[in-house]
């Protein structure tokens, strides 16, 4: 059996002005470092391609959208440098989305945990189904949502982010996330969601690319320091993950 950290894929396909970037991992679409690196690269590449007008970020399967970081890889961290590098994975994806000059649409068909909430917060326009409940579980395993926190706070406000961060073992329904601005559309079925996504994509493809690029810069104004901010946050998590408390908490969490 292939080790979990070596499984999964990132796929990117461009057709008629739309770049679809899809990720998959057999463990509830969790994202080990390898996939996070490839995901950041795929987003950056799509943003630089003239043929691309809009980007769609989605995951495969019918259950979870994304279970966050890979716990198996998390447990293999041996020192602070490894820890910082590991937690920089989601930081690099968030920064790739922030810097991408094209609008990124998010498609959440199922639950989002931890880093996945950071992904949903970093797309420019997010669709979801009623199955897309959210949870920031980091504090429950002895760490904290330090890396994704700025993105979540930017989208949902300090109140929404802190509620998720503190109440780390409780799911919040998709309707809760919709009311706080994480999701812009909420649908009963994936088919209904995909129809609405296609309609928006078709409209966006006809808009002025330069206007959309400049508008995206406006949306992300005030985040110019995030390269350093998220690196600093990754270092905090990288140190915390080495503690005995966190090791015990992660082992206990994996046994559930």
pLDDT at position 101, please? 98
pLDDT tens track for 37-78: 999 999 999 999 999 999 999 999 999 999 998 888 888 898
pLDDT at position 254, please? 63
Provide the pairing of β-strand 125-129 with 103-108.
parallel
Do residues 147 and 233 touch, judged by C-beta distance below 8 A? yes
* Structure token digits, residue 138: 């980091």
Domain residue spans of the chain? 4-255
Q: What is the dihedral of CA 34, 111, 124, 225, to 10 degrees?
A: -60
In degrees rounded to 5, what are phi and psi of residue 29? 60, 35
Q: What superfamily in CATH does domain 4-255 come from?
A: 2-enoyl-CoA Hydratase; Chain A, domain 1 (3.90.226.10)
Average pLDDT over residues 143-157: 97
pTM above 0.85, yes or no: yes
pLDDT tens track for 90-144: 999 999 999 999 999 999 999 999 999 999 999 999 999 999 999 999 999 899 9
What percent of the chain clears pLDDT 90, i.e. is strictly above it? 87
In degrees rounded to 5, what are phi and psi of residue 173? -65, 155
Whether residue 2 is predicted with pLDDT greater than 50 in this model: the reply is no
Pick the residue with more confidence: 252 or 106? 106
């Amino acid at each position: 059996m292939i080790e979990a950290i070596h499984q999964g894929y990132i796929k990117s396909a461009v057709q008629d002005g739309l770049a679809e970037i899809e990720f998959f991992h057999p463990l509830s679409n969790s994202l080990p470092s390898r996939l996070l690196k490839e995901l950041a690269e795929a987003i950056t590449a799509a943003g630089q391609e003239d043929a691309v007008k809009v980007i769609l970020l989605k995951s495969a399967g019918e259950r979870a959208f994304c279970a966050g970081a890979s716990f198996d890889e998390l447990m293999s961290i041996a020192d602070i440098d490894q820890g910082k590098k590991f937690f920089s994975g989601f930081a690099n994806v968030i920064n790739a989305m922030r810097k991408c000059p094209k609008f990124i649409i998010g498609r959440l068909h199922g639950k989002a945990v931890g880093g996945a909430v950071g992904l949903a917060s970093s797309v420019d326009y997010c669709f979801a189904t009623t199955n897309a409940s959210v949870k920031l579980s980091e504090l429950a395993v002895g760490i904290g949502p330090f890396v994704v926190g700025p993105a979540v706070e930017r989208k949902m406000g300090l109140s929404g982010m802190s509620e998720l961060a503190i109440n780390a073992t409780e799911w919040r329904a998709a309707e809760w996330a919709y009311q706080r601005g994480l999701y812009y559309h909420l649908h009963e079925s994936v088919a209904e969601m995909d129809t609405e996504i296609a309609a928006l994509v078709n409209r966006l493809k006809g808009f002025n690319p330069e206007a959309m690029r400049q508008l995206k810069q406006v949306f992300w104004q005030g985040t110019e320091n995030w390269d350093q901010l998220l690196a600093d946050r990754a270092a905090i998590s990288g140190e915390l993950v080495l503690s005995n408390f966190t090791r015990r908490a992660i082992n206990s969490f994996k046994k559930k």
